[in-house]
Amino acid sequence: MRKVLFSLIFVLSALISLGQTIYTVKNVDALFDVKLDINRNKTFFQLNGGATQTVSQDDSTWTYTFCVDNLYDALKGYGKMDLDSLAGTPSVTVTLEAKYFYDDASWTTVLTKTWAGTTGDTTLIFDNSSAKAYRFFRFNVNPDISLDTTQVFDIGQIQYQLYK
Position 139 confidence tier, pLDDT thresholds 50, 70, 90 = very high
Is 15 part of any domain?
Answer: no
pLDDT in tens, 50-74: 666 788 777 778 899 999 988 878 8
Domain that includes residue 68, residue range: 25-163
pLDDT in tens, 16-38: 655 554 555 667 778 888 988 88
Residue 146: helix, strand or coil by DSSP?
Answer: coil
Please work out, in degrees rounded to the nearest 5, the angle formed at the alpha carbon of residue 119 by the alpha carbons of 157 and 113.
Answer: 60
**Whole-angstrom distance, CA of residue 46 vs CA of residue 43:** 11
For the chain, what is the domain count?
1
Is 140 part of any domain?
Answer: yes
pTM greater than the 0.85 cutoff: no
State the DSSP code for 4: H
Mean pLDDT of 103-121: 86
CATH number of 67's domain: 2.60.120.660
